[in-house]
Amino acid sequence: MRDVAIVAAGQRQQAAFTDETEVQILLPIFEQVRNDTGLEQSDIGFTCSGSSDFLAGSAFSFVGTLEGVGAYPPICESHVEMDGAWALYEAWVKLQIGEIDTALVYSYGKSSPGSLRDVLSTQLDPYYLAPLWPDAFALGALQARMMLEQDIVSRDRLTEIAVRSRDHASSSPHAVRKGDATTDFVEASPVIADPLRADDCAAGADGGCVIILAAGDIAKNVCDRPAWIRGIEHRTDAHSLAGRDLLSAQSAALAANAAGVGDDKIDIAELHGPFTHQEHLLETALGITDETIVNPSGGALAGHTMMAAGLMRIAEAATRVSAGAGDRAVAHATSGPWLQQNLVCVMEGD
Amino acid sequence: MSEPSQVEIELPAEIRDVEPVQSIRTPIRMTYDYIPSSSAIASLNAYAEKRILGGVSPIDGAVFVPPRGVDPRHGVATTETVDLPDTGHIGSFCVTRLPIPGREDLEIPYVSAWIFLDGADVGFLGLVSGVDTSEVHIGMRVKALWKPDDELGRTAENIVSWIPSGEPSLPFEEAGVRGYRKRSGAKGSDPLA
């Protein structure tokens, strides 16, 4: 495997960016990662992004954000209608092939203009499920109810995860839900979709995330401590919800195994769990133990920028590895209802 | 190519006499609260006063219309805006001879054109009227036909169409993006040149 590392990562996230277009959300982050590495767009071999125009209801916003990259003279680029973590995977494959030595990966989401829980219904199968408009919180609640009734998780454990998120998020500049990290506070939060309370559901946010990947010596030249990608895999469960096991995250476990998560001690795990009960499933699927700090950023629960929350997990983990807060970290990204698609990325510092 | 094989399907008795589903309609409607960005709001407000704003590049002063808060060539924010005249020329155009669903108000054939305002470095789409389609040409000088003052809103639709101004045409080599390349010395191949 060719040595490829994350050499710069930046993000912006807040409850809503009402005054800024998607391009304007991203512009300062592009500037930051360029300043961090000294790399200009002309030094970048491949640019790849992830987003969905359904969020803001704005057609071709995914083309529009290329205006923030500086795509002139013409550049080599691609886009996935997926969380940016999958855009990173596409770029990583190109780096492995040896076609390029550097890549710029970004993703963003501005879901505040619409009702995200309803917009997400449009990703369901269009014949049997989407016409019924089961919203994202309702689907999450079905799974949580089944897990509670079959003792896969307890109400206390869900509360514990929500409190942990608020606690860790207190020191995160990008978190939109932080502080008040007490059991009483969480248990007083209103029920959104029984049995899920507001604190069991990820806090909605707008934002963007940008990462620069580089191979070999270039990575060492532009970054003091690159976060080397030692394993990255993604797997998927069935699209049909009727064919799914709600009590485990099977494709997440497969991806984690293939990426070599269990091969050595994990210092930091950044898990993309849109709900507390899904964060619990992910810890189980990845085999996380007490020696790992889970979601030091507060995780996706503390701020969930749709289409970027997964890439943000990679950014959070990589940033901590580069800063020396840990030697080996795992980041996870998910997409689709009930943790349908899962990507796992293992990073190490030198 | 062989014919698809006909498979006999035995339906359960309880649905045997039910009319088979040939197709379903599942209409989808989603509501968004769109808030234009700061740059778009300034531009839309200006339209209400029959003014057209452009965004100025901090790199080389190139003018983009409408202003979207960014110089897309360099990926840098633009904050300065400039008032542009409502006169310009046709950079390229298309004559359409088929009706568009929902735009029955458009008389066929109609001309849509890439309008380059005087002082702007990029064009934007507009309708051309007041001239026979056979006379429309690249470099043709045009001016805005505004709606009556009492019908103006905060919208680019205030400009009904672009009509010939009667001034001498620009040479082909200086019209549209060719003009930008000539002025700026920009490299790269122009498939239209």
pLDDT tens profile A5-28? 999 999 999 999 989 999 999 999
pLDDT at B2: 59
Query: What pLDDT is recorded for position B110?
Result: 95
Of the residues A163, A189, A222, the one at which a domain ends: A222
Same domain? For A164 and A176 the reply is yes
A108-157 per-position pLDDT tens digit: 999 999 999 999 999 998 888 988 999 999 999 999 999 999 999 999 99
Asked if A35 has any chain B CB less than 8 Å from its own CB, the reply is: no
Residues A333 and A287 in one domain: yes
Q: What share of chain B is helix, strand, coil (3-state, %, to 5)?
A: 20, 25, 55
Which of A20, A24, A71 comes nearest B72 by C-beta?
A: A71
Residues A104 and A210 in one domain: yes
Q: What contacts 24+ positions apart, CB below 8 Å, involve A238-243?
A: A238/A340, A239/A125, A239/A336, A239/A340, A240/A125, A241/A124, A241/A129, A241/A139, A241/A337, A241/A338
* A279 touches A309 (CB < 8 A): no
pLDDT(A233) > 60: yes
Q: Which residue of A has its CA nearest to B42?
A: A19
Map out the domains of chain B as residue ranges.
38-184
What is the predicted pLDDT for the residue at B192?
Answer: 40
Interface mutation target, options B21, B24, B35, B76, chain A, most CBs of A under 10 Å:
B35
Query: What's the pLDDT tens digit per position in B106-154?
Result: 889 999 999 999 999 999 999 999 999 999 999 999 999 999 999 999 9
Whether the pLDDT of residue A185 is over 50: the answer is yes
Query: Does A127 contact B24 at a Cβ distance shorter than 8 Å?
Result: yes
**pLDDT value, residue B55:** 96
Reduced to 3 states (helix: H, G, I; strand: E, B; else coil), residue A148 is helix
Calculate Rg over the CA atoms of chain A: 19
Residue A114 Cα, gap to closest chain B Cα (Å): 4
In a shared domain, residues A187 and A208? no
Q: What is the pLDDT of residue B190?
A: 45
Are B30 and A19 in contact (CB < 8 Å)? no
Residues 6+ apart with CB under 8 A from B110: B95, B96, B127, B128, B129, B133
- Chain A residues inside the 8 Å CB shell of B26: 126-127, 130-131
Domain boundary among the residues A222, A257, A291 is at A222
Predicted pLDDT at A179:
95
Residues of chain A in contact with residue B40, where contact means CB-CB under 8 angstroms, are 21
* Alpha-carbon distance A73 to nearest alpha carbon in chain B (angstroms): 7
The chain A residue lying nearest B78, using CA atoms, is: A24
Residues A42 and A57 in one domain: yes
- For residue A127, the enclosing domain spans 116-200
Neighbours of A277 (CB within 10 A): 26
CB contact under 8 Å between A27 and B76, yes or no, is yes
- In chain A, residues 128-147 whose CB comes closer than 8 Å to chain B: 130-131
pLDDT at position A128: 87
Contact call for A21 and B35, based on CB within 8 A? no
Residue of A342, A297, A304, A334 whose CA lies nearest to A110: A304
Task: Tell which of A155, A190, A222 closes a domain.
Answer: A222
User: Could you give the angle at the alpha carbon of B109 between the alpha carbons of B106 and B115, nearest 5°?
Assistant: 75
pLDDT at B3: 66
Spatial separation of the C-alpha atoms in residues A333 and A254, rounded to whole Å: 14
Please give the structure tokens belonging to residue A83: 């969380």
Residues of A in contact with B68 (CB under 8 A): 21, 23, 64, 67
Rounded to whole angstroms, how far apart are CA atoms A76 and A66? 11
A72 and A213 together in one domain: yes
Claim to verify: residue A216 and residue A80 sit in the same structural domain: yes
Quick one: A89 and A139 in the same domain? Answer: no
CATH at A11: 3.40.47.10
CB A76 within 8 A of CB A47: yes
**Mean pLDDT, chain B cut into blocks of 10 residues (193 residues total):** 71 87 85 87 95 95 93 92 98 94 88 97 96 97 97 96 97 90 65 40
pLDDT digits (tens, 9 = 90+) for A243-289: 999 999 999 999 999 999 999 999 999 999 999 999 999 999 999 99
- Chain B positions contacting chain A at CB under 8 Å are 24, 26, 28, 30-35, 37-40, 68-70, 72-77, 187-188
A128 and A157 assigned to the same domain: yes
Q: How far is CA B70 from CA A23, A26, A104, A240, in A?
A: 8, 11, 19, 42
Q: What is the DSSP letter of A7?
A: E
Chain A residue at shortest CA distance from B77: A27
What torsion do the CA atoms of A304, A310, A314, A315 make, to the nearest 10 degrees? -40
Secondary structure element (H or E) that encloses residue A207, with its range: strand A204-215
Residues A89 and A218 in one domain: yes
A and B: number of Cβ contacts within 8 A: 77
CB A282 within 8 A of CB A344: no
- The residue of chain A nearest to residue B24, with distances taken between CA atoms, is A127
Would you give the distance in Å from CA B153 to the centre of its chain? Answer: 18
Assigned token pair, B19: 């009319």
3-state secondary structure of A108: strand
In chain A, how many domains are there? 3
Q: What is the mean pLDDT of chain A?
A: 96
Predicted TM-score (pTM) of this structure: 0.92
- By Cβ distance, the residue of A67, A114, A127 closest to B68 is A67
Q: Which residue of B has its CA nearest to A20?
A: B37
Question: Which residue from B minimizes the CA distance to A57?
Answer: B32
Share of chain A above pLDDT 70, in %: 100
A86 touches A80 (CB < 8 A): yes
Phi, psi torsion values for A19, nearest 5 degrees: -95, -5
pLDDT tens-digit series, residues A78-115:
999 999 999 999 999 999 999 999 999 999 999 999 99
Q: Are residues A12 and A108 in the same domain?
A: yes
Q: Are residues A70 and A40 in the same domain?
A: yes
Which of B91, B61, B112, B59 lies closest to B179, judged by CA? B91
- Are A130 and B33 a contacting pair at CB < 8 A? no
